[in-house]
Structure 1
Amino acid sequence: PNFFSVESVCYRMRIRVRQMTFGRYPVEEMDSNLYILWGHNPDQSDFPLKFSLKKNLDKGAKLVVIDPKRIPIADRADMYLRIRPGTDGALALAMMNVIITENLYDKEFIEQHTFGFEKLVPHVQKYTPEWAEEITWVAAEDIRKLARLFANTKGASIFQGTCTHDQTANGTQNSRAFSVLQAITGNINVPGGWVTSPPPRLGSVGLGVEGDPVGSDQYPLFFEMWGKKSPYGVVTVVPESIPEKLKAFLVAGGNPLVSMPDSNAFRDSFRKLDLLVVHDLFMTETAKEAHYVLPACSHLEKWGVAYTYNVCHCLPFIMLRKKCIEPLYESWSEWKFFTELGKRLGLEDKFPWKSEEEMVSYELAPSGFSFDTLLNEKPEGVLYSPKSYERKEGLFRSPSGRIEIYSEAFEKVGFDPLPTFLEPERGPKRGKKEFLEKYPLILSTGSRNLYYTHSQHRNVEALRKLYPEPMVEISPSTAKRFDIENGDDVIIETNRGIVKMRAGVDERVADGVVLVPHGWAGDANANLLTDVQCREPIMGYPDMKSLMCSIRRA
C-alpha cells in the first residue's frame, strides 16, 4: 500500500533537509534579535510569530523582509528586498559568498561543529552579489548589506515561508542553503537562532509500510535517509501511476482535487480508479468523484492528542484534544472507521484498543503525561521539554556527528553535496521563446488569506461575507500593460488551464508577477494552472511558486 499526506507537497522537504544537515530538526525561536521573513507573512499565517515579532521590534530587534510583495510588516523593516519568485537560492548563495569573502563567519563554531566547510569556500566564489543581482532583481549592494547584517548578529533567524521555497525548482537546495547560512554564522542553539529540541515521545499507533511506495525510485532522498525509510509516497507521481500501480484510493479529511497540483490531471486519473472512498465532513470536490462517501466526525466529537511536533518556533507543547459531544448522526471518527475496517480485513490484532480513550492513553504513555493528567490537571496543555541551547559533542546526529555543510547523502545519490541554484524549469530564464511570448508573466500560487485555511472555511457565512471571492493580485504597471482595471473579471492562463478571478491591483506587488490565492474550488481553483510534471528534481515537489502565465480581461 501507498501512503500520502499533505507533507507530500508541504513542509516535509524542509524537515528532511534540516535532518540531513543537522541530524536533528532545528527550528526558529520566536524571540530573535534579527528576523529575516523570507517569503513569510506572519500577519496572515503565523499569529504566534506575529505577536512576538512586534513585541521584539518595539524592543529594538531588526527586521528584513524578502518577498515579491511588500507585505504590511515590511513598513517596519530595516530592509525590504523585492525578489523574483523562485530565485531565493541564488540570493542565499550570494550571501554565503559575502560572508566567506569578508571573513564574517563564526570560525570557532565551524571548527567545532561542522563538516565540509573547506569545500564550501571555493564552491561559493562564483556566486557573487553581481551574479545574483541579474537573477533575483535584488541589488548587489543590498545583498552585501543583508549578508553583513546577518553574519554580525547573534540570535538571527531565517523564517521560511510555508512552502514558499519548497515548491520551486530549487526547493531542496533552498532549504540546504538556509541551513548552511545559519550554521556558518553560528546561529544554531543560541537564543534567537535555530534551536534543536526533541519532538514529544509518543506511542506509535501506525504500522510500517512493506515495500517501496511510488516515487521512491525516482526521489530516493524523500524516501530513505541513512537506512531509515519513510512511509510517504511522492504525490506528484500519482496521476502517472493510475491504474497500473494504484487502483484504489481512500481519502480521509483531504481534498486532493483542489489541493494537489494539476487538478485536471488528478481528476482524470482518479476517474480511472477501481475504487475511490472519501471519509470527510463535507461533500468536497474529491468526494463528488468518489464511489463511496462516508461521514466523518469533527474535532469536537473525538478524543485526540494535539502537539506542535516542535515545528512551531521551538514551543514543545502538548495537550489533550477533548471530545465535547458524542458523534452526530451517522458520523464516525477515524479511529472507529479504521478499526472497523481493520477487523473486516482480518487484522483485529493490529487494533487492540477498545475505545478512543484507550488508544490516546497508549499514544501518550511514553510522553510521561497520562490521559487523566492532561484531562483533569493540565487541560490547558503542558510544555513537555525544557528549552536547551547546548552544543555538546554528539548533539548533531548526522553520520559525521557534525552539521553537514557538505552532504555525502546527497553525493551518494548523484546530487550536489553543496547548495546550488537551479532556475525554474519554465521560468523567464529557461523557458523557450515561443512559450514566454504566450505566457510572459511570473505566476506564484498559494498566497495566504487571513479568513481561510487552505481549502477550508469558505462555507462559513460570516467569513465569506468578509472575503466573498478570490482576487488575483497584480501591480499597477502589469494592469496597465494588459488594460485591466481594479475589480475587473480576468482570466489567468498557463499551459495547463485557466482560472477566472477578480483583479486586485496593488502597488505593493512586483511588476510582472501574478499572485493567485489557493484553496478555492471551481473555476477559481489555482491548481488548474499548475503542472504535475513540473517537479523539483531531488524530492519531487511540484513547482507552484514560479511558473509562467498570461492574464487578460474576461
Structure 2
Amino acid sequence: MKPNSLKRRKFLKISSAFLASSTMAGGSLSFNQHKSLKAAQTSEEKVVPTLCELCFWRCGVNAHVRDGKVYKITGQEQHPLSNGRLCPRGTGGHGLLYDPNRLKHPLIREKVNGKEMFRKADWEEAITLVADNFMRIREEYGHGSVVTFTHGFGASFLKILCASCGMISAPSYAQCRGPREDAFKLTFGHSVGSPEALDIKNSQYLVLIGTHLGENMHNTAVQDFADAIGNGCRIVVVDPRFSTAAGKAERWLPIRPGTDMALLRAWIRILIEEELYDRPFVEENTVGLEEVREGVQDATPENTAALTGIAAEDIIAVARDLGRYKNHALIHPGRRVTWYGDDTQRERAIAILNALLGNYRRPGGLFKQNKYGVPKPKFPIAIVGERKFVSRYPFASSVPASEILQQTITSDPWPVKGWMVYGTNMIHSLGNQAQTIEALNQLEFMVAIDVLPMEITSYADVILPEHTYLERYDDLDDRSFRVPYVGLRQPVVPPLYDTKSGYEIAKMLSEKMGKFDLFPDDVETYLDGRLREVNSSLAEIKEKGVLKKPEMDFYRKPWESLKFRTPSGKIELASSKLKASGFDAVPRYTPPQENPPGYFRLLFGRAPMHTFGRTANNRFLGELMPENELWVNEITGKDMKLKPGEYVYLINQDGVKSKTPIKIRLTQRIRPDSVYMVHGFGHTHPELEQAFGRGASDADLITHLDIDPIMGATGMQNNFVTFTRKA
C-alpha cells in the first residue's frame, strides 16, 4: 500500500492530545522558578556528566539532578570544549527535556471520513510500517530510491543503517561550512575541521569577515576569542553590520555586501607587491605565487574602494598590519559561509592570504588537529551496482541536498520516492521552500524522526519521537581537536515518554529490514566494545565524562619539512585541481547582484541564546529572547516611514511575503542598503506554543539560491526585501 495516495502532501496539525502531559510538572516551571528551587527540598542529588546538543559543538556538561529531575546544567571543568563554562543555550538544555510540546508517542498519518489526521501508534506498528514501505520502494524503484536527510550527532547509527541498505545519507554541509572545507582542501590538502583548527587565543592580529564570534556562541571559539582580547590581540571586523565582535575591534569595515572577494584580492595584491608576505615560508612550501601575482593585478586599493565602499587607506592599512604580524596574524575562515554563490573561491582567497602570512602551525595561526583515535567497528556496506549518487559539482564532498530535492522532483536519473528526515527542519533550513514542498509532493512515503513537532514533521506519514539528548546514549564523540579527547553522551534521567534513541530506532529498523546482526543487542555493549580497544571501558567514561590525551605540540619546528596532501605536495596558491576542471586557478571577483529599487539585501545570522530553529520553543531561552527583530538603518527607516518597535511584514524580490510579522529595530549599526534578522524564528506549527508566530522566518523569503559551481553550496544572501504593514 502506498500511504500517501493524494496528489498533494498536506501539512497536518498534530492533535494537542498527543502532546499533552500529565506526568511531568517540571514541564511548567519557568527559568526563574527553576533558579529558585531550594536545596532544602533535596532528598537525593547527583551530578551526571554528558554532552550538550543545544548546538553541534557538543560541549561537556554536568547535569545536576535532584529528586529525579534535572534542575541545572553546568560546564564540565575537565572537558576541553567547555572548560567549565557554557553558553546560554547549554545552561538551558533542560528546557528541551521538559518542553510540554515534545513528541511523546509514534504517530501515523491516516485518512478518516475523507480527512487526513495523525493517530497514536505503538512502536511495533510504526517501525513495521516504515520498514515495509522502504523495502517496497526499494523493490519497486531500485537502490537509491530512499534518501535520508540528517542533521545531528544522534543520526550516526541511522547512517550506518543507510550504508548497509544502500540508502544515501545527505548531510547539510552545502548549507553551512562545505565551501570552506573544500577550499582549504584544495589549498592546504586538509579542511579546517569542526571544532576549527584555529589558534585564535594566541593570535596577535585577527580579521573576521562576516564571522559572528560572540553571537553564534560556539563555546571554545568564544573562549579563545575572549582570551585573544585579553592578550591584546588587534581585531578587524569586515561586516555590513556592527556585530558583537565589531564592538571589540579596532576597525569596523562596513563592506558592501557581496564584495568580500574584491577586498581579499586587494589584500593579496598588497602583500605580494610590497613583499610583506613570509618569503622563506612561501618559497619553500607553496606553488603558484607568480600566477596569483598576475591574477590580482587589477585589484588595486583604489578599484577595490570603489567596489566595496571601504576607503583605500583602510584597505592598505590592514594589509600592512597583516604583513607586520605575518605568522601571528589570522584571517578567520568563518563557519556558515554559503553567501553569494562564489563561496568556495572566496574561501580559497582566505586560504591564500593565510598561506602568504606563513601562519601554518605557528602561534596564532592555522594548525592541524588529531583525534583520540578510538577504532570504529566495520559495518557492512551495500553493493548498489551502477546507481551511485554523484554530484554534478566536481568538488562536492557529498551530494548537496538541493540536488536530492531536484532528483526527487524530476526522477532523473532515477526516482527518489522515500525520505527519512532526522533532526532537520528542511522547511526552515534549505531555502526555496516551494522546491522543498514540490519534492515532498512527489514522495510515496516519508518518516520524520524528531523531538519536537517541527514544520517538516507535519508532512510525514510516520513520526518517530526521539529521546532528548539528556535521555539517551549516542556514539562516542571522537573528533579532531588540539586536545585529543573522547566524550560520552549518556542518559541523565530515564525517558519521560514513549520515545526511543537513535540507536534503538536504527536497530529496530535494521531487524525489520532483515539486517539482524547489524547492531549489538544494546548500545552499552557497542560503546563498551569500542572503548575496550583503547584500554578503557564504558564504566570509566561514564564516571569521568571524557578521556583526554595531552595537548598537541602542533607548532612547527624551524627545521621541520612540511608535506601537504595536494597534487604538488605543497600549499597550492594557484589550484591545479581547479584549473584542470576548468575553473579559475586564482580566485576572480564577480560583482554581486544589485538591490532592486526600494529593496534591501536580507542578511541573517545567529544569537547567543538560540540555535537555528531548534530552540525557539525552549521556554528558558525564550525568556531571554522570545522573538527576532529586523535591524534597519535609521536613515532607511526614516525614508520608509518606519517606527521603532512596530511590526511589519516583509515582501521579497519575487513577491513572496513573510508568513508572520517582525518587529522593527532602527539602528546605526547596519548599512542603509541592508537589513538583518536572527535566523530560526517565525514558526508556523501551532503546537509549538512558545515559538508559534513569534518573529519572522528568513527562510520564507529566501526564494533565490545561487549555487556554487565548484561544490554545490546554496548561496542564500542574494535575496532582497521591502516592507508592508498589510497582513
Alpha-carbon deviation of 1:304? Answer: 2.6
Structure-2 separation of matches of 1:550 and 1:326: 49
Q: Partner letter of residue 506 of structure 1?
A: T
Residue 134 to residue 402, structure 1, CA distance change in 2 (3 Å): same
Residue 7 to residue 217, structure 1, CA distance change in 2 (3 Å): closer
Alpha-carbon deviation of 1:540? Answer: 1.6
Residue 169 to residue 533, structure 1, CA distance change in 2 (3 Å): closer
Structure-2 separation of matches of 1:329 and 1:465: 25
* Residue 421 of structure 2 is aligned to residue 247 of structure 1: no
2:600 aligned residue (441, 445, 453): 441
Please tell me whether the aligned partners of residues 166 and 174 of structure 1 are also in contact (alpha carbons under 8 angstroms): no
* Residue 536 of structure 2 is aligned to residue 353 of structure 1: no
**Other-structure match for 2:395:** 221
Q: Partner letter of residue 490 of structure 2?
A: K
* Residue 211 of structure 2 is aligned to residue 40 of structure 1: yes
**Other-structure match for 1:227:** none
**Other-structure match for 1:2:** 168
2:343 aligned residue (138, 152, 171): 171
1:94 alignment partner, SS class: helix
Please tell me whether the aligned partners of residues 19 and 25 of structure 1 are also in contact (alpha carbons under 8 angstroms): yes
Q: Partner letter of residue 220 of structure 1?
A: P
Alpha-carbon deviation of 1:365? Answer: 6.1
Residue 450 to residue 75, structure 1, CA distance change in 2 (3 Å): closer
Measured against aligned partners, the alpha-carbon deviations of 1:142-180 in whole angstroms (never above 9, x if no partner) come to 1111111112113111223321x3332210011101111
Structure-1 separation of matches of 2:478 and 2:363: 20
Alignment of structure 1 residues 86-235 onto 2, 5 Å? 86-153=258-325, 154-163=327-336, 165-204=337-376, 210=384, 214=389, 216-223=390-397, 232-235=398-401
**Other-structure match for 1:340:** 508
Alpha-carbon deviation of 1:262? Answer: 1.3
* Residue 190 of structure 2 is aligned to residue 17 of structure 1: no
Please tell me whether the aligned partners of residues 236 and 261 of structure 1 are also in contact (alpha carbons under 8 angstroms): no
Greater displacement, 239-248 / 451-460: 239-248
Structure-2 separation of matches of 1:128 and 1:382: 49
Q: Partner letter of residue 10 of structure 1?
A: C
1:516 alignment partner, SS class: strand
2:553 alignment partner, SS class: coil
Greater displacement, 379-388 / 23-32: 379-388
Q: Partner letter of residue 272 of structure 1?
A: Q
2:224 alignment partner, SS class: helix
Alpha-carbon deviation of 1:466? Answer: 2.6
Residue 532 to residue 484, structure 1, CA distance change in 2 (3 Å): closer
Alpha-carbon deviation of 1:259? Answer: 1.3
Greater displacement, 493-502 / 180-189: 493-502
Structure-2 separation of matches of 1:85 and 1:368: 52
**Other-structure match for 1:472:** 630
Greater displacement, 90-99 / 353-362: 353-362
Alpha-carbon deviation of 1:278? Answer: 0.4
* Residue 253 of structure 2 is aligned to residue 71 of structure 1: no
Alignment of structure 1 residues 54-69 onto 2, 5 Å? 54-69=226-241
Q: Partner letter of residue 555 of structure 2?
A: Y
- TM-score of the superposition, structure 2-length normalised? 0.69
**Other-structure match for 2:90:** none
- TM-score of the superposition, structure 1-length normalised? 0.89
Greater displacement, 118-127 / 239-248: 239-248
Structure-2 separation of matches of 1:193 and 1:332: 43
Greater Rg, structure 1 or structure 2?
Answer: 2
Residue 305 to residue 508, structure 1, CA distance change in 2 (3 Å): same
Residue 270 to residue 33, structure 1, CA distance change in 2 (3 Å): same
1:395 aligned residue (563, 567, 577): 563
Residue 383 to residue 150, structure 1, CA distance change in 2 (3 Å): farther
Greater displacement, 315-324 / 396-405: 315-324
Q: Partner letter of residue 458 of structure 2?
A: K
Please tell me whether the aligned partners of residues 372 and 549 of structure 2 are also in contact (alpha carbons under 8 angstroms): no
Structure-1 separation of matches of 2:496 and 2:213: 36
Q: Partner letter of residue 206 of structure 2?
A: Y
Q: Partner letter of residue 424 of structure 2?
A: G
Measured against aligned partners, the alpha-carbon deviations of 1:276-327 in whole angstroms (never above 9, x if no partner) come to 10011111100011111011111122223464734x7x45443111222333
Residue 152 to residue 107, structure 1, CA distance change in 2 (3 Å): same
2:395 alignment partner, SS class: helix
Structure-2 separation of matches of 1:284 and 1:235: 19
Residue 263 to residue 319, structure 1, CA distance change in 2 (3 Å): same
Alpha-carbon deviation of 1:195? Answer: 0.8
Please tell me whether the aligned partners of residues 531 and 543 of structure 1 are also in contact (alpha carbons under 8 angstroms): no
Please tell me whether the aligned partners of residues 410 and 416 of structure 1 are also in contact (alpha carbons under 8 angstroms): yes
**Other-structure match for 2:497:** 329
Residue 504 to residue 365, structure 1, CA distance change in 2 (3 Å): farther
Residue 366 to residue 95, structure 1, CA distance change in 2 (3 Å): farther
**Other-structure match for 1:229:** none
Percent of pairs with identical residues: 25
Measured against aligned partners, the alpha-carbon deviations of 1:464-498 in whole angstroms (never above 9, x if no partner) come to 23322221111101111211111121122224422
* Residue 436 of structure 2 is aligned to residue 266 of structure 1: yes
**Other-structure match for 1:303:** 473
Residue 470 to residue 306, structure 1, CA distance change in 2 (3 Å): farther
Structure-2 separation of matches of 1:15 and 1:160: 10
Alpha-carbon deviation of 1:107? Answer: 1.0
Please tell me whether the aligned partners of residues 169 and 423 of structure 1 are also in contact (alpha carbons under 8 angstroms): no
Residue 364 to residue 182, structure 1, CA distance change in 2 (3 Å): farther
Structure-2 separation of matches of 1:268 and 1:222: 24
Structure-2 separation of matches of 1:532 and 1:238: 17
1:510 aligned residue (665, 671, 688): 671
Q: Partner letter of residue 143 of structure 1?
A: I
Residue 359 to residue 419, structure 1, CA distance change in 2 (3 Å): farther
Residue 77 to residue 190, structure 1, CA distance change in 2 (3 Å): same
Alpha-carbon deviation of 1:367? Answer: 6.2
Please tell me whether the aligned partners of residues 374 and 534 of structure 2 are also in contact (alpha carbons under 8 angstroms): yes
Structure-2 separation of matches of 1:288 and 1:8: 24
2:448 alignment partner, SS class: strand
**Other-structure match for 1:493:** 651
**Other-structure match for 2:715:** 543
Q: Partner letter of residue 256 of structure 1?
A: M
Structure-2 separation of matches of 1:305 and 1:512: 46
Measured against aligned partners, the alpha-carbon deviations of 1:53-72 in whole angstroms (never above 9, x if no partner) come to 33332332211111111124
Residue 280 to residue 198, structure 1, CA distance change in 2 (3 Å): same
Q: Partner letter of residue 35 of structure 1?
A: L
Q: Partner letter of residue 241 of structure 1?
A: Q
1:329 alignment partner, SS class: coil
**Other-structure match for 1:228:** none
Greater displacement, 464-473 / 291-300: 464-473
**Other-structure match for 1:279:** 449
Alpha-carbon deviation of 1:397? Answer: 1.8
**Other-structure match for 2:223:** 51
Measured against aligned partners, the alpha-carbon deviations of 1:166-216 in whole angstroms (never above 9, x if no partner) come to 3322100111011110001101110110111224434446665756765x3
Residue 385 to residue 478, structure 1, CA distance change in 2 (3 Å): same
Alpha-carbon deviation of 1:8? Answer: 3.0
Greater displacement, 515-524 / 484-493: 515-524
Residue 83 to residue 51, structure 1, CA distance change in 2 (3 Å): same
Measured against aligned partners, the alpha-carbon deviations of 1:18-66 in whole angstroms (never above 9, x if no partner) come to 1221112342113111121221222212343333333332332211111
Structure-2 separation of matches of 1:108 and 1:537: 34
Measured against aligned partners, the alpha-carbon deviations of 1:112-137 in whole angstroms (never above 9, x if no partner) come to 11122221111111111222222222
Q: Partner letter of residue 208 of structure 2?
A: L
Please tell me whether the aligned partners of residues 603 and 677 of structure 2 are also in contact (alpha carbons under 8 angstroms): yes
